[in-house]
Structure 1
Amino acid sequence: MWRESEPDERIELDVDGYTIVAYSFGFGDETVLCLNGGPGLPCDYLREAHCCLVDHGYRVVAFDQLGCGESDRPTDPSLWNISRYVAETETVRQSLNLGKVHLLGHSWGGWLGIEYALAYPDELKSLILEDTVADMPASIAELDRLRAALGSETVAMMQRHEAEGSYDHPEYQAAITLLNYRHVCRLGQWPAPVMRSLADWNQGPYREMQGPNEFHYTGNLKDWSRLGDLWRIPVPTLITCGAHDEFTPAGALKMKLALQNAELKVIPNASHMPFYEAPETYYPALLDFLSRVTGPLP
């Protein structure tokens, strides 16, 4: 189960002249390298949800991507693109001498994980795609379906504010808040690591790459799709998805069918953060997958 935990190591790395801060838990030979969502979101929420894997013999490594957390925060918008983040991830892996890793990507980190797996398939032992998609145009259509459940009047109000750019209007924010509690985290009180990450969210990379919120895409990833390339990823892949996820089970199923060697676990009573919402289901599924890939650990 997830817990707050101090890392065994905090490492500062130089990546193309910028400082990237990584956090390492445990000392096992099998490394789970975590790629958090966002973009621009500190890794606290994901590292605290997975550092417990050390109890099962794994080493867990996470890092604050450029632009967030304790890493440098430049303001040059040309830096906010997925190719640069793929190169950053590989530099982190090499700099920490991690060898082949189990790459775990959540949300935006899943898109990054897919791109990394296509660029560096030989550096992976497995791929774990959590609450993510491989085809944003199709996912945007699914998001529109979720928005429609708010009712036609509310959707019309949201579209008007989006056309005007008045994303901060209270009635628009009220609709987004309702969607967040339905499809991002269904807990009445969100866990402290989630709130800590959200409180320090750098909106620069987020708006440049994604948009103003989780339910309206305007950034440079809005047309991103790798569904047709997933067959090139050879490693065992676990896909997890909450039954009420903003990235719906329909998108997760498309990934499963497109990959060579994938399995899908849809987690009931959860949305975009099953590790907090349904830990009793999430962790056994993750550990079972890892154990079948790695075999028994010391």
Structure 2
Amino acid sequence: MWREISPDETVDIRVDGYRIRAYSFGKGDNTLLCLNGGPGLPCDYLREAHSCLTDHGYRIVAFDQLGTGCSDRPEDASLWTIGRYVAETETVRRELGLGKVHMLGHSWGGWLAIDYALTHPENLVSLILTDTVADIPHLVSELERLRGALGSETVAMMQRHEAAGSLDHPEYMAAITLLNYRHVCRLPEWPAPVQRSLDDWNMGPYVAMQGPNEFLYTGNLRDWNRIPDLPKIKAPALIINGEHDELTPACALRMKTAMPAAEVSIIRNSSHMPFYENPDDYYRVLLGFLSRHGAGI
């Protein structure tokens, strides 16, 4: 089960002149490199959910992406691109001497992991795509379906505020809050690491790359689609989704269709945070996959 653990090592890495803070847990030969969601979130919520895997002999590494957490926070909007974050991830892997890794990307971190896998396939033992997608335009259609469940009048209200730019209006925010509790985390109280990450969210990268909230994509990744490229990924792959996930099981199926050899697991009674909402099933699936796919050397 997840618990908050102090890192065995905290390292500052220079990437193109900026400081990136990385955290390492355990000394195992198998390294799980975790790429958290956002963009713009500190890695706390994903780091704390996976550091417990040291109990099973794994080394767990996570880092605060540029603009987040204890890493530097420049305000140059030209930095917020997926290509730059791929290069950052490779620098972290190389500077820490991790060798080949099991890479786990959650949400936005999954998009980053996919582009990393296509750019540096030689560095992966396996790829775990958790609560993520490979086709943003398809995701947008799924999000429209999810918010349609709020009713036509509520959807019309949301569209009206989006057109007017009044996204901070209380009725619009109330609809977003309801969607978050249905499709982001269904727990009555969100775990402390999740809340800590949310409280320190840098909206600069988020708005530039994704948009103003989880259900409106207007950023530079709004047309991102790697479905045609997924067959190029040869590393063993695991796709995990919560059954109520905002990044829906239909998105998982779309990735599976492009990667027939990938394993898929839909975690019951969970949404976008299955490692907190249903940890028993989540860890069982993840550890089973890792144990079948060798060591990072």
TM range (shorter): over 0.9
Deviation of residue 294 (structure 1)? 1.8
> Could you tell me which residue of structure 2 aligns to residue 138 of structure 1?
138
Separation in 1, partners of 2:261, 2:268? 23
Separation in 2, partners of 1:69, 1:289? 30
TM norm structure 2: 0.99
> Could you tell me which residue of structure 1 aligns to residue 62 of structure 2?
62
Separation in 2, partners of 1:117, 1:129? 11
> For residues 81-230 of structure 1, what are the structure 2 equivalents within 5 Å?
81-230=81-230
> Could you tell me which residue of structure 2 aligns to residue 272 of structure 1?
272
Separation in 1, partners of 2:291, 2:279? 18
Read off the aligned partner of 2:251 and give its amino acid letter. G
> Could you tell me which residue of structure 1 aligns to residue 13 of structure 2?
13
RMSD: 0.9
> Could you tell me which residue of structure 2 aligns to residue 252 of structure 1?
252
Deviation of residue 136 (structure 1)? 0.3
> Could you tell me which residue of structure 1 aligns to residue 47 of structure 2?
47
Deviation of residue 154 (structure 1)? 0.3
Cα pair 1:10 1:24 within 8 Å, conserved: yes
Deviation of residue 86 (structure 1)? 0.1
Q: Give the count of matched residue pairs.
A: 296
Separation in 2, partners of 1:34, 1:195? 19
Name structure 2 gaps, 5 residues minimum.
none
Read off the aligned partner of 1:160 and give its amino acid letter. R
TM norm structure 1: 0.98
Deviation of residue 260 (structure 1)? 5.1
Cα pair 1:234 1:261 within 8 Å, conserved: no
Q: Percent identity?
A: 71
Separation in 2, partners of 1:201, 1:129? 22
Deviation of residue 266 (structure 1)? 0.3
> Could you tell me which residue of structure 1 aligns to residue 23 of structure 2?
23
Read off the aligned partner of 1:168 and give its amino acid letter. D
Separation in 1, partners of 2:120, 2:259? 16
Read off the aligned partner of 2:292 and give its amino acid letter. R
Cα pair 1:233 1:260 within 8 Å, conserved: no
Name structure 1 gaps, 5 residues minimum.
none
